[in-house]
Amino acid sequence: MTKILVVDDHAVVRSGIREFLAAKEGLEVVGEAATGAEALSIVRNQFLNVVLLDVSLPDVDGLELLKRIKFERPDVAVLMFSMYPEDDFAVHAIDAGASGYLNKAGPPGEILTAINAAANGSRYVSPALAERLLTGAVSPVKRSPHEKLSRREMEVLLHLSNGISLTKIGELLHLSVKTIGTYRGRILEKLNVRSNAELTRYVLLHKLG
């Protein structure tokens, strides 16, 4: 049984997806969330196979939530779901770790195809987008500076942005203060900022915290 979480801030959309999938054998919607915070809580506390995630949420950017979900549960497949054109967001989403991208205006059967592909460890893009990717018609993604950070560097960044000292971060991560200082230096360089205050502004601007 493929267990699915639907994340969308519109109750009508969530209800429609649940009703559509309820009649499909082997699929079960085990949770719904209207915000990123709700989604992360469910991801952390419930067994899931696939998250169907809207790009636009009231409290966090969908792509950033995708990264947090993959950080928390790398085993869970995430399908992005949006009204935005594929060319604008699909490549960004897949580059950030999504298992696929679905346009809300697409045919209902496409959701089933994408969910089954994601649950089996594959990626899904529409045939039209696949053709454009192969022919080079879609421009390559320009990565944000924080996407260059390693998993550990991202942890240190979030702690720093919350005003936690190097010593305390070292205790939390079981690392020496010198090592944390080295991570901080790398983060400053990769994000092209000069202070903890600028790091905090960066985190707030990109809704990383």
**pLDDT at residue 88, rounded to an integer:** 62
CATH class (in words) of the domain with range 145-205: mainly alpha
**pLDDT at residue 137, rounded to an integer:** 47
Q: How far apart are the first and last CA of the chain?
A: 33
Q: Across 55-175, where does the E strand assignment appear?
A: 77-82, 100-103
Asked whether this chain's domains 2-135 and 145-205 adopt the same fold, the reply is no
Full pLDDT tens readout for the chain, 209 residues: 999 999 999 999 999 999 999 889 999 999 999 999 999 999 999 999 999 999 888 888 888 899 889 988 989 999 998 887 666 677 778 878 899 888 888 888 899 999 999 999 998 887 777 776 666 544 545 567 887 888 889 899 999 999 999 999 999 999 999 999 999 999 999 999 999 999 999 888 877 86
What's the CA gap between 140 and 114, in Å, rounded?
A: 23
In the numeric block, which tokens belong to residue 85?
Answer: 């054109």
Sorted by where each begins, the domain ranges of the chain are 2-135, 145-205
Say whether pTM exceeds 0.95: no
Contacts of residue 64, Cβ cutoff 8 Å, sequence gap at least 6: 36, 206, 207, 208
What's the CA gap between 56 and 8, in Å, rounded?
A: 8
CATH architecture of the domain formed by 2-135? 3-Layer(aba) Sandwich (3.40)
